[in-house]
Amino acid sequence: MQAAYDAIYLQLRSLIENGTYPYRSLLPSESVLVSQYGCAHNTVRKSLSMLAADGYVQPVHGKGVRVIYFPETNSPLQSQCFLSTEIESFREAMQRIGIGNTTTKVLTMQECVADDSPLLAPYAKGTPLVNVERIRIYEGQALSRESNFLRADIVEGMTKADAEYSVYHYIRSVRGEKLVTCKRCIAIEPATDRDRELLDIDDTSHVVVIHSRAFDGDGLLCELCETRQHPKVFTFCQTAIHSRIHSQK
């Protein structure tokens, strides 16, 4: 079942994207939208705040809701970015940006237990884990590698073949678990000897390093992952909105 605010969000978004509400114009006022959609004021507001968070509109107090979306041909579009603001598997990301011919190779896959190393500190000590190390190859080049510490119970029964296809797909479709929140940290670090050994980075001095921690439907940590990859495959788009909180802090 689709929520009312989702439907309104999607409809308004497509009207913005197809030019019905062009860049720099004002949307119909809240009260007009309320009567158009036959819903409550708060419902329209939720849809509008979602559009604002995604960079489609910006509400202007006392004036209206300004459309700030314009199609971009120059820089990579939001939808074509390598790293999305959503939670998706590598496979899903590749399909989204239209790179079909990628393969994944599992280097190692072994059970272990969370000790008190700083790397695994977010896991409770003693938690059974599975460590999966993989390499991503596209167009014959190894451009990305990752080391993944997954909570054992959430990937119970996973085989190497499953991990080669998609760990996220296994968690979601086979295990029926959700991935709800993902915290990420992006940095650019000098390539290590191990990077040069495993990846085709040639004359590239640095690699993109993404640390991510994913939480399941219960809000419990289930994945702790480090991805190291060639810089040329990395793009990321984001919309920042001013909040008064930080100005007070």
Partner DNA sequence: GCCGATTTGTCCGTATGTATC
Partner DNA sequence: CGATACATACGGACAAATCGG
User: Applying CB under 7 A, which residues contact DNA?
Assistant: 1, 3-5, 26-27, 29-32, 38-43, 45-46, 48, 59-65, 217-218
DSSP single-letter state for residue 147: E
Under the criterion CB under 8 A, does residue 237 sit at the interface with a second copy? yes
In the list 15, 40, 70, 174, the residue contacting a second copy (rule: CB under 8 A) is 70
Closest separation in Å from C-beta 234 to a second copy: 5
For residue 58, the number of C-alpha atoms closer than 13 Å in the C-beta half-sphere is 12
Q: Does 4 bind a second copy (CB under 8 A)?
A: no
Stretch that binds a second copy, among 54-62, 102-110, 133-141, 144-152 (CB under 8 A): 54-62
Return the structure tokens found at 25: 């114009």
User: Cβ neighbours of residue 249 under 8 Å, at least 6 residues apart?
Assistant: none
| Binding partner of 221, given DNA, a second copy, none, CB within 5-8 angstroms per partner class | a second copy
Q: Is 24 in the site for a second copy (CB under 8 A)?
A: yes
CB of 4 to DNA, least distance (A): 3
In the complex with DNA, the residue whose CB is nearer, 38 or 71, is 38
Distance CA 59, CA 246 (A): 20
CA 81 to chain centre: 10
- If the CB atoms of residues 66 and 105 are measured against a second copy, the closer one turns out to be 66
209 forms beta bridges with: 187, 228
With 0-12 / 13-18 / 19 or more C-beta atoms within 10 angstroms meaning exposed / middle / buried, residue 40 is exposed
The footprint of a second copy on residues 174-213 (CB under 8 A) is 178-189, 203-206, 208, 211
Amino acid sitting at position 226: E
CB atoms within 10 A of CB 176: 8
| Residue 48 site contact among DNA, a second copy, none (CB < 5 to 8 Å, cut-off depends on kind) | DNA
Contact flag: residue 75 with a second copy (CB under 8 A) = yes
